[in-house]
């Protein structure tokens, strides 16, 4: 269809006396088209007056749309059942043109921030080759909204621990914090609610209070509200990650920090300045850092295993051999694993970020050759058990030969039986189990209960005769 400029040219050329053939050749249109324009006598484009098949059913469509929860397939089925003769495409086109269930596009607004007013935080998954492996890891980013200063780092996952680690590093990089931190309703920060009614988790609110800012969340679906931090992710993925190689996690995050320094010093045409230049003004309005910034750590309670390790994040770290079986407190920081007994630190290891099943061993934690803990050393649980009931020594020794790796569990279970059950039925059941080589602790418990039932809860004519029936014993066994 010819636009208005060509229609105007056709009318002008006709007034100048040119023939229809000449006009058609000049405007590169057919003679019939030129004739229709001349017949219309005006350059305006005629509107298509073709009737819409769905127009007679407008009221029904408006009624059925909310009743069918916006499902136009179901609306079309009901209309066909009522005798309407229209295709599904005609229905969807009608709804789209008249704004039924399809609100028109809204122009995006602009946000202007004063220095130190707001910073925005978000994460994005990126595939990164570290060494010889391609990993899906999390890129965390923080942007100061006025100066557009950017800081980002990579982590194997992202939870509240890593969020506090990242924000601490970012605020130290900037030298302070803005009054509020805008997030996207992430569960890492949010305890309940969304948007303006969002309530942060207590530990995250306490973290923000330490640095003098507060968390805010934008309304659901209002992604433009966090565009300052959303926009750089594509640039990071297609600029920072493009063509770069990383030996390990330290190399990756060191290069990410250096790249941020370079980007922040680059002049931006939209700002007519570089973020670093604008930051000179904004840094005076930031909330100052506290005089002491504590190390962020995640606390774990562990018991030193029989091989002298504690397991954290899919990897194992050695402890002094004397602490095998002891209750330990493990603090996981960004780079280290610290082991404590009470207030005393007894071990420190370089943290392995990948959950790859590695064993990190400090040679000082192993006993000198020939002076290690003897495999025949009696454990404290065994000493306590045999002091309480010496008659169990034979069963304990047989259990050690049969299942050496389950000794601690068996000793604790027998200690509970000695405390809870009468001595006679317990020893009777232990004797039977030892005779037949029975080391199933659940079945041993049931045998003790059967002996108790026979000897202490006998009813009717058999009262006073605690002797069990051998046939019944055979049947039950």
**Of residues 107 and 286, more confidently modeled:** 286
- Closest CA relative to residue 236, chosen from 255, 215, 214: 255
Give the span between the Cα atoms of 347 and 338, in whole angstroms: 6
List pLDDT tens digits, range 3-17. Answer: 888 889 888 888 898
C-beta atoms surrounding 430 within 10 Å: 22
What's the helix, strand, coil split of the chain in %, to 5?
45, 20, 35
Question: Counting beta carbons within 10 angstroms of the beta carbon of residue 324, is it exposed (0 to 12), middle (13 to 18) or buried (19 or more)?
Answer: middle
pLDDT of amino acid 376? 57
The highest-level CATH class for domain 118-285 is: alpha beta
71-82 residue pLDDT tens: 999 999 999 999
Predicted local confidence at residue 450, as pLDDT: 87
Give the C-alpha separation, 149 to 276, whole Å.
Answer: 7
CB–CB of 236/152 below 8 Å? yes
What is the spatial distance between Cα 415 and Cα 376, in angstroms, rounded to a whole number? 20
Backbone dihedral angles phi then psi of residue 194, each to the nearest 5 degrees: -140, 160
Ramachandran angles phi, psi of 339, nearest 5°: -110, 135
How many angstroms separate the first and last alpha carbons of the chain? 95
Find, among 16, 10, 20, 19, the residue nearest to 41 by Cα. 10
Q: What is the pLDDT of residues 402-418, one digit of tens each?
A: 887 788 888 888 888 88
**Strand ranges inside 314-456, DSSP E:** 315-318, 327-332, 336-341, 344-350, 359-360
The residue extents of the domains of the chain are 4-40, 55-97, 118-285, 298-365, 380-476
Asked if residue 275 has pLDDT above 60, the reply is yes
> What pLDDT is recorded for position 377?
62
Q: Which string of DSSP letters, residue by residue, matches 418-442?
A: HHHS-HHHHHHHHHHHHHHT---HH
Res. 48 pLDDT band, cuts 50 70 90: low
Q: pLDDT tens digit string along 296-346?
A: 999 999 999 988 999 998 999 999 988 999 999 999 999 999 999 999 999
Q: Residue 367 pLDDT more than 80? A: no
Report the alpha-carbon distance of residue 77 to residue 287 in Å, rounded. 61
At residue 399, the pLDDT reads 84
The confidence band for 395, taking pLDDT boundaries of 50, 70 and 90, is confident
Which of left, alpha, beta for 401 (phi over 0: left; psi -120 to 50: alpha)? alpha
- pLDDT of 53 strictly over 90: no
CB distance 265 to 284 below 8 Å: no
Q: Taking residues 348-365, what's their average pLDDT?
A: 90
Average pLDDT of the residues of the chain = 87
Of all helices (H) and strands (E), which one includes residue 139? Answer: strand 133-144
Whole-prediction pTM: 0.62
How far is 339 from 297, CA to CA, in rounded Å?
12
pLDDT at 131 over 80: yes
Nearest to 430 by CA among 420, 466, 456, 440: 440
Return the CA Rg of the chain.
Answer: 39
């Amino acid at each position: 269809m010819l636009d208005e400029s060509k229609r105007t040219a056709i009318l002008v050329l006709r007034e100048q006396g040119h023939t229809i053939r000449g006009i058609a050749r000049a405007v590169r249109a057919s003679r019939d088209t030129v004739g229709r324009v001349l017949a219309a006598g005006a350059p305006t484009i005629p509107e298509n007056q073709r009737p819409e098949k769905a127009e007679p059913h407008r009221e029904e469509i408006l009624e059925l749309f909310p009743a069918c929860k916006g499902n136009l397939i179901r609306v079309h089925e009901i209309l066909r059942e009522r005798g309407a003769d229209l295709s599904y495409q005609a229905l969807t086109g009608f709804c789209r043109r008249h704004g039924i269930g399809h609100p028109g596009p809204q122009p995006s607004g602009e946000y202007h921030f004063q220095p130190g007013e707001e910073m925005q935080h978000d994460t994005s998954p990126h595939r990164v080759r570290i060494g010889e492996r391609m990993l899906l890891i999390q890129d965390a980013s923080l942007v100061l909204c006025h100066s557009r200063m950017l800081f980002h780092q990579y982590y194997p996952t992202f939870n509240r621990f890593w969020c506090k680690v990242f924000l601490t590093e970012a605020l130290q990089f900037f030298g302070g914090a803005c009054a509020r931190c805008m997030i996207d309703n992430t569960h890492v920060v949010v305890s309940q609610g969304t948007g303006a009614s969002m309530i942060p988790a207590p530990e995250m609110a306490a973290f923000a209070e330490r640095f003098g800012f507060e968390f805010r969340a934008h309304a659901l679906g209002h992604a433009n509200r966090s565009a300052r931090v959303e926009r750089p992710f594509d640039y990071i993925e297609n600029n920072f990650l493009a063509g770069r190689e990383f030996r390990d996690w330290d190399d990756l995050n060191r290069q990410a920090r250096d790249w941020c320094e370079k980007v922040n010093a680059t002049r931006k045409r939209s700002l007519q300045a570089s973020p670093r230049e604008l930051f000179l003004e904004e840094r005076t309005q930031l909330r100052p850092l506290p005089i002491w910034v504590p190390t962020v750590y995640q606390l774990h309670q562990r018991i030193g295993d029989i091989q002298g390790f504690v397991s954290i994040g899919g990897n194992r770290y050695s402890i002094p051999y004397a602490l095998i079986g002891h209750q330990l407190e493990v603090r996981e920081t960004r780079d280290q694993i610290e082991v404590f007994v009470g207030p005393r630190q007894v071990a420190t290891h370089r943290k392995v970020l990948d959950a790859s099943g590695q064993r990190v061993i400090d040679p000082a934690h192993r006993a000198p050759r020939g002076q290690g803990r003897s495999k025949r050393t009696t454990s404290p649980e065994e000493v306590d058990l045999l002091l309480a009931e010496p008659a169990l020594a034979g069963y304990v020794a047989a259990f050690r030969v049969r299942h050496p790796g389950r000794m601690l569990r068996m000793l604790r279970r027998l200690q509970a039986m000695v405390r809870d059950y009468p001595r006679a039925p317990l020893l009777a059941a232990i004797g039977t189990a030892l005779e037949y080589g029975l080391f199933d602790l659940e079945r041993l418990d049931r045998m003790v209960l059967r002996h108790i039932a026979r000897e202490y809860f006998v009813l009717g004519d058999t009262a006073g005769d605690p002797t069990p029936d051998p046939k019944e014993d055979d049947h039950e066994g």
